[in-house]
A and B are shown apart, each in its own frame.
Chain A
Amino acid sequence: MTNESQNVFEVLVIGSGPAGVSSAKALVERGFRVTLLDIGFDDPKAREAIPDLPFSKLRAEDPNQTSYFVGQEAEGVPKGDVKVGAHLTPPRRFVHHRSEELLPSRVRGATLMQSTALGGLGAAWGAGACTYLPEELTAMGLPIDEMNSAYRAVSSWIGVSAPESGAMRWHCGSALSQAQPALEPDDLARSIMSRYDRNKDHFSKLGFDIGLPSMAVLTRDLDSRCANPYYDMDFYGDSRKSVFRPRYVLDNLKKNKNFTYLSSRVCLSYLERDGVIEVRVRNLGTGTEEVLYCGQLILAAGAINSARTVFESMSLDKKAGFSIQTRLLCNPYHYLVGLQLDSFGRELSDRRHSLAQLFGIYRSAGQRTHESAFLAFYSYRSLLHFKLSKEFPFPVAIGQKIAALLSGGLSIVGVHHSDSFETAIDYRWTKNALAPGIIELSYDKHAETQRRRDQKVNEEIHFIQKTLRRLGVFPLSRVAPGPGASIHYAGSLPIGSWTDVDGRVLKSKRVYVVDSSTWTYLPAKGLTLSIMANAWRIAQKLPRSP
């Protein structure tokens, strides 16, 4: 039923993030004619302006380095406390360009980030590629065998590097079949690992394990992408396409005659009638509204915006005063800044990558597997010193000297905790006479719920800090950016209440949600690979239009 000149499409996918491109790829391979629609902001000039050279060489020799390390308008120097998106360097700022204007929401007690980018939040993905264990998938409401099969399929074309064996292979990569060799750890990570290996059994008995990470980063060439060059520039550019980005899939799909890409469009709502879905979109280029028609609609706009589209569509025949309540799962997140004294007096190798050097899992006694906390160790030597010095209570000149002294030995440990509906962010969609379709996201829990959650998180953090000291990392500070800061969102349209296990919206026949909106639980481990696997799984089962 494709007739693009009349805005009629067989399958319309909304969103070009990890879920959108995975489902689009699977459907094109199955022979469907697919159109993918998104806002699609990008900044190729900023990306291409970064020479493919090591960080230290660029710092010493590139006269244009200000443009990507600080930004022409100093956009890399955030004002005040950074709550969310601290890792977004100037070349990655496009990820949330105009998001507050185009995807508006009222947020109270939380900090959230939405993406308007080509590739969605995947354009700034830290590349942690974890598979979930059977107990975790059960808690999320997802079928174990189908997910394991999808993990194998997706990881084979995005390219995942992982340790061959050990605790982290079991925790984060047990469903991977063809992983590339793990990334080489840097000197600080090696030092932590050697201390851990000396007392491995003791740590394991306490429920604490660390190991090399499984990452969507190539250590061997794959198709047109190349192995990571260890240039320590991974937070600035996409050198040699080593780190997976959704736009690579989109670039390949554009070569297929069964695929069409429509950018500069925001999906507003859909209306299903007589076997056809009318999709109302706003064209950002012309400023007008358009109506597209499709046989099947795939929502992959992320947990906040897929729910927005469903709720907006449900309210089309409702009068003002219509309200829907749901929840948004989001991993509570802290990061610990620690100093590794082993690094002093040692020459540290320049050959390193900027991404997570190690992963860790902590499960306290009595906790179930899916309730474990997840750790990612970073070294961040490619951080410029002003970022640290602005946090010190000293004049900048002194702060930068201290930062220069400490930065070589700094470890930053991101700690994610699992989230359930009891402690999730409240999500309310309201249509009233003054302003139709407002999202309100608030985190304002009952005192007892808050106390229980804080107690669990504090106990985990306390143990992790103690264990880090034994691993030679002395915690200097603990930063709690607040609810929403992990940028891991799920659960707004949970299976059973709003969708079925294959993503179909219950009150529709041909509208599917393929992102993390449908999950009923959010484990602490990174979710992006699972979002892709779930989207791939659902797309494999999508029925042909009658």
Chain B
Amino acid sequence: MNLTKLLKPDHASVVRAAHDEATCAGALRYAPRADGPIRQSVVLFFWVVLGVLAAPFVLFKRLLTGRGL
């Protein structure tokens, strides 16, 4: 069992997202340049903290998929 593969989004929703993104409005919605450098750093910090908290779960998943620590 590979949890990462199981949790990946289905093809239909990726296609919808791709069409949504490839529009002028989508460009604004998803462009990293729309975010200022400070906000980028704050959001990155958030994800780093979340990553640290999530680490034990990731290790558990590796054990579950037989990949070892």
Listed in ascending order, the chain A residues whose CB lies under 8 Å from chain B are 56, 59-63, 65-66, 69-70, 74, 76-77, 79, 344-347, 384-386, 389-397, 399-405, 407-408
Q: Which residues of A contact B9 (CB under 8 A)?
A: 389-390, 392, 394-396, 399
Interface residue? B68 (CB, 8 A):
no
CA distance A65 to B23 in the complex (A): 7
A61 touches B41 (CB 8 A): no
Residue from A56, A62, A74, A394 within 8 A of B18 (CB atoms): A74
A404 touches B18 (CB 8 A): no
The 25 listed contacts between A and B (C-beta, < 8 Å) are: A56-B31, A59-B27, A63-B23, A65-B27, A79-B11, A344-B37, A344-B41, A344-B44, A347-B37, A384-B18, A386-B17, A386-B18, A389-B14, A393-B7, A394-B7, A396-B9, A396-B16, A397-B17, A400-B30, A404-B30, A404-B32, A405-B32, A405-B35, A405-B40, A408-B32
Q: Which residues of B contact A62 (CB under 8 A)?
A: 24
Per-residue CB contact flags for chain B residues 21-53 toward chain A (1 = under 8 Å, else 0) read 111100110111101011011011001000000
| Chain A, Cβ-Cβ closest to B34 | A404
A66 touches B19 (CB 8 A): yes
Q: Which residues of B contact A60 (CB under 8 A)?
A: 24, 27-28
State how many angstroms separate the Cβ of B19 from the closest Cβ of chain A: 6
| Chain A, Cβ-Cβ closest to B4 | A393
CA distance A347 to B27 in the complex (A): 18
A396 touches B14 (CB 8 A): yes
Interface residue? B1 (CB, 8 A):
no
CA distance A280 to B38 in the complex (A): 67
State how many angstroms separate the Cβ of A479 from the closest Cβ of chain B: 13
Q: Which residues of A contact B31 (CB under 8 A)?
A: 56, 59, 404
CA distance A74 to B14 in the complex (A): 10
B15 touches A74 (CB 8 A): yes
B22 touches A69 (CB 8 A): yes
A405 touches B8 (CB 8 A): no
Which range holds the interface residue count of chain B? Answer: 20 to 34
Interface residue? B3 (CB, 8 A):
yes
Q: Which residues of A contact B16 (CB under 8 A)?
A: 396
CA distance A390 to B14 in the complex (A): 6
Residue from A59, A70, A344 within 8 A of B19 (CB atoms): A70
A56 touches B33 (CB 8 A): yes
Given contacts A60-B24, A408-B32, contact A76 B18 (CB under 8 A): yes
State how many angstroms separate the Cβ of B12 from the closest Cβ of chain A: 10
Listed in ascending order, the chain B residues whose CB lies under 8 Å from chain A are 3-9, 11, 13-19, 21-24, 27-28, 30-33, 35, 37-38, 40-41, 43-44, 47
State how many angstroms separate the Cβ of A126 from the closest Cβ of chain B: 23
Give the interface centre of A63, A70, A347 by most chain B CB atoms within 10 Å: A70
State how many angstroms separate the Cβ of A237 from the closest Cβ of chain B: 15
Q: Which residues of A contact B17 (CB under 8 A)?
A: 386, 389, 396-397, 400
CA distance A347 to B41 in the complex (A): 12
A-B pairs with lowest CB-CB distance, top 3: A393-B7, A59-B27, A386-B18
Q: Which residues of B contact A79 (CB under 8 A)?
A: 11
State how many angstroms separate the Cβ of B48 from the closest Cβ of chain A: 10
CA distance A131 to B29 in the complex (A): 44
Beyond contacts A344-B41, A393-B8, A401-B30: 19 other A-B pairs, Cβ-Cβ < 8 A, are A59-B24, A69-B18, A70-B19, A74-B18, A77-B14, A77-B15, A345-B38, A346-B37, A384-B18, A384-B22, A386-B17, A389-B17, A391-B8, A392-B9, A393-B6, A393-B7, A395-B9, A396-B17, A407-B32
CA distance A26 to B26 in the complex (A): 49
B24 touches A61 (CB 8 A): yes
State how many angstroms separate the Cβ of A382 from the closest Cβ of chain B: 12
A400 touches B21 (CB 8 A): yes
B21 touches A385 (CB 8 A): yes
| Chain B, Cβ-Cβ closest to A348 | B33
Given contacts A66-B19, A394-B9, A405-B40, contact A385 B30 (CB under 8 A): yes
CA distance A131 to B5 in the complex (A): 40
Residue from B5, B14, B43 within 8 A of A386 (CB atoms): B14
Give the interface centre of A59, A76, A392 by most chain B CB atoms within 10 Å: A59
Q: Which residues of A contact B15 (CB under 8 A)?
A: 74, 77
B11 touches A386 (CB 8 A): no
CA distance A145 to B43 in the complex (A): 57
State how many angstroms separate the Cβ of B45 from the closest Cβ of chain A: 9
Residue from B8, B41, B44 within 8 A of A392 (CB atoms): B8
Q: Which residues of B contact A396 (CB under 8 A)?
A: 9, 13-14, 16-17
